[in-house]
Structure 1
């Protein structure tokens, strides 16, 4: 998904479980729609959860450096909210865009899948093959 230009802003009233307190700017109409979409799909906006300097939150900066917006977001299911360590902007990334790269650090605990005991031997039905090899009417040449 891309090209939403959704500004979610600082005010998270009514969206406390979706939007954190550390957004940037004011919410626009697309931001309202995006917040509703996240609420409907049980998603959390990762970029608004963590306190960072303003420069590490602004994903789009105007050419004259007067306007900063946070319009690119990383969303994750509410169930996995605790796996996010941080979400921030990488300004030095060499990408051909006027927006900065948004990066999230996640911590995952992977569990080894243990198999219990030995697997049962597979048995194949060989009656058909036995019938072919032990045929009473062998072909005559």
Structure 2
């Protein structure tokens, strides 16, 4: 990483997703019609949307959903009430829950990734419906599940990153159909459309090998993390004071008193006990040795009560500007800069 990139606060971020929970080569599910199928030793498979053959006719089995429950999940399902109507709405509930979480993260980097079991297709020559939602590179035609994904992305200003980068077709397929041997792109990486320029690469990692029929997918990002301004709490303790015997004895006595009052207990968690020790230690240090004093000019020390609030307000405005990076926030930060400069010049003249 170059010096220029370090100053900007940009960092490389790599995210991956890999579906390794599949039924590849374990056993096949090629039965028809039954909504509930007992597998073995309490495991249950919920199966629906597969038509029954009539008079020996051949029925194409290209759609359907199956959910396998272990004994504990089977018991919970039966207690809640059996019936396919209770699990047909799982996908709809997923999108509803995802929609509820979206608005709370508008100021953060948002990446949703995983096995969506949906084909979103590619952007056609005259297709303006999914403009800025998908790119023109990739595999497959879309299906109904993929259309649901694209509608959700459009409503929330999201984009599917899989098909924005031109690559060989072998680097788009994430899953191979066991019968047709055709590769499909059903594992997706979705992010906010306004941050698409921060994604530098997408690739299917074909060399990753595991007991699964899915391929790992990887995306690389260049992101900017807001710089956090130092606060008073981060000023180091004046530990050099402990070289004096009087200060050392004072710190030891105060720490013993606080630990005697705030005793740890075996009934509380390790986290709570650690918090008690930490607070006692820092409180004893504050009262005995205090914090390091910064060498400030005389004019600043004389006007610290006036200048400090102005500087704090300016730092907060700068943090907000780095986070949101809009012209409005930039103007607000510049305004605070001018106020601080005017106050500093006045303090120096006096």
Q: Give the TM-score of the pair, scaled to structure 1.
A: 0.73
Aligned to 2:210, which of 95, 102, 120?
Answer: 95
Pair 1:51 & 2:163 matched:
no
Residue 4 of structure 1: CA displacement?
A: 3.1
Residue 37 of structure 1: CA displacement?
A: 1.1
SS at match of 2:202: strand
Cross-structure match for 1:21: 136
Give distance in 2, aligned partners of 1:9 and 1:60: 14
Pair 1:4 & 2:126 matched:
no
Give distance in 2, aligned partners of 1:3 and 1:84: 20
Give distance in 2, aligned partners of 1:87 and 1:44: 13
SS at match of 2:196: helix
Give distance in 2, aligned partners of 1:104 and 1:86: 6
More displaced 10-residue stretch of structure 1: 61-70 or 97-106: 61-70
Give distance in 2, aligned partners of 1:111 and 1:19: 29
Q: Give deviations 1:92-139, integer Å, cap 9, x for gaps.
A: 2133321101100011123422247x57xxxxxxxxxxxxxxxxxxxx
Give distance in 1, aligned partners of 2:114 and 2:227: 35
Residue 63 of structure 1: CA displacement?
A: 4.3
Q: Give the TM-score of the pair, scaled to structure 2.
A: 0.31
Give distance in 2, aligned partners of 1:3 and 1:83: 22
Residue 64 of structure 1: CA displacement?
A: 6.6
Distance 1:3 1:83, change over 3 A: closer
Larger Rg: 2
Pair 1:77 & 2:77 matched:
no
Give distance in 2, aligned partners of 1:66 and 1:94: 18
Greater per-residue helix proportion: 2
Residue 38 of structure 1: CA displacement?
A: 1.1
Cross-structure match for 1:36: 151
Residue 3 of structure 1: CA displacement?
A: 4.7
User: How many pairs are equivalent?
Assistant: 118
SS at match of 2:162: helix
Give distance in 2, aligned partners of 1:86 and 1:64: 31
Contact 1:11 1:26 in 2 (8 A): no
Residue 16 of structure 1: CA displacement?
A: 1.1
